[in-house]
Amino acid sequence: MSFQPGAHLSLPSTEAHPLVGRTILQIIPDLDAGGAERTTVDIAKGLTDVGARALVATEGGRLVAELQAKGGVWLPFPAAAKNPLAMAVNIRKLMLLCRYEGVELIHARSRAPAWVALAAARMLRLPFVTTYHGSYNSRSAVKTLYNSVMARGDIVIANSGYTAELILAKHAFARERIRVVNRGTNFAAFAPQAVAPERIQALRQAWGIGAHQRIVLLPGRLTGWKGQRVLIDAARILRDGGDTDTAFILAGDPQGRDGYVRELDLLIAKAGLEDRVKRVGHCTDMPAALLAAAVVTVPSTEPEAFGRVAVEAQAMGTPVVVSDLGAVPETVLAPPQTAPGERTGWRVEPGNAAALADALAGALSLRPSARDNLALRARRHVERHFSLETMVGDTLDVYCALLEGREGN
């Protein structure tokens, strides 16, 4: 079964947008880092741009300042609570908040707050939207039921075709309510010409990169399935094969996974890669980081529901090497599905360090003309399919359809 995004509204510039004056609330545990968090801020800005009120109920996080700068309103709320009693209390809190603020639609982006939002929306008779952002492991009937809340929206937004098929396989009851809205990238910010050389130099200095060294960058929180262990093994293979001038950067927060951090440090030390593989923590300037890299890699060992980093790297013209699973075939074009001359990156077997090393070596050895042609193809590909404007327009169309449908009843 195939799912296609809808065309978003195209209104005359003199005509007011249907969401003018409307109050929309998004709820998410926090606004620290990640695709769901970034999308929350992007949609809030899209709402304010058309004259709507954009509220975000969340515990806080580093993106709150950006949310507020873009016109969104932060409503401090214990949205990360997973204790059933706390969630029950949160239902009443959210209902009171919605009444006070005049909320007309609720959009949930995570499971625990989605259960709270579902109950509040039903009791207040408000339209309810969910976005299915991840694969959501379900090894038991209880976990499957818990996850199912993300398929219980009046409209269920899937962030990729892969995610849409996943929802259908796990929660067939949502079949008629699934809408694909691919994550969008701000191509004005993620553009090579938008990054001053000083920003790249500042990152290289902060990361301790020598003038002669190229960078292979793995951006992503430090968690096992993101593939940091696989990259460390690939770095060893490349070093043993004669590579002497490549640094491997692991850029991301541990988010409390201290045991995993110690494991990574031990793997780096055992391989004798202390001078080649560096953990640098969270990076606040991703456009510069992606442009500073000779290659960006996303060697995930579990499916990516979308793959935002791969899209952003292609927008910057940086070669990408990714695991061939999840939504990656939608975002990175590569053989055998694509002719070699039309590739926009490399896809490798998940967990295969030798295959990853081989693909990295191929990307690192590109001649300037081949690299430039790859960058041009990649930029065109992501601009065509994954723009921020399309994502915002399609999401706002979902809101309009539900609000208009409610008024028509």
Beta strands across the sheet bearing 320-323? 277-279, 246-251, 214-219, 295-298, 320-323, 346-348
Residue found under tokens 């800005």: 45
The reply to whether 239 and 351 lie within a common domain is yes
The reply to whether 163 and 227 lie within a common domain is no
What's the one-letter identity of residue 255?
Q
- Whether 69 maps to a domain, the answer reads yes
The reply to whether 285 and 357 lie within a common domain is yes
Residue 1 has pLDDT above 70, yes or no: no
pLDDT of amino acid 409: 60
The mean per-residue pLDDT over the stretch 184-192 comes to 96
Residue 57 has pLDDT above 50, yes or no: yes
The reply to whether 132 and 146 lie within a common domain is yes
Residue-wise pLDDT for 114-171, tens only, equals 999 999 999 999 999 999 988 777 788 899 999 999 999 999 999 999 999 999 999 9
The reply to whether 140 and 230 lie within a common domain is no
Beta-sheet strands, E only, within 205-345:
214-219, 246-251, 277-279, 295-298, 320-323
pLDDT of amino acid 6: 44
Average predicted confidence (pLDDT) for the chain: 93
The mean per-residue pLDDT over the stretch 290-306 comes to 95
Burial class (CB in 10 A: 0-12, 13-18, 19+), 280: middle
The mean per-residue pLDDT over the stretch 183-201 comes to 96
The mean per-residue pLDDT over the stretch 52-77 comes to 97
Tokens of 293: 């890299």
Q: How many structural domains comprise the chain? A: 2
The reply to whether 227 and 344 lie within a common domain is yes
pLDDT of amino acid 405: 81
pLDDT of amino acid 296: 98
The reply to whether 399 and 357 lie within a common domain is no
The reply to whether 380 and 393 lie within a common domain is no
Beta-sheet strands, E only, within 82-134:
105-108, 128-132
* Alpha carbons 397 and 6: distance in angstroms, whole number: 8
pLDDT of amino acid 10: 43
Fill in the DSSP letter of residue 33. Answer: S
Residue-wise pLDDT for 358-385, tens only, equals 999 999 999 999 999 999 999 999 999 9
The reply to whether 348 and 201 lie within a common domain is yes
pLDDT of amino acid 34: 80
Confidence class for position 183, pLDDT limits 50, 70, 90: very high
Residue-wise pLDDT for 14-51, tens only, equals 478 999 999 999 999 999 878 899 999 999 999 999 99
Identify the CATH number of the domain in which residue 355 sits: 3.40.50.2000
Residue found under tokens 């609570």: 81
**For residue 59, what are the domain limits?**
23-184+387-403
* Alpha carbons 176 and 185: distance in angstroms, whole number: 27
The mean per-residue pLDDT over the stretch 267-272 comes to 97
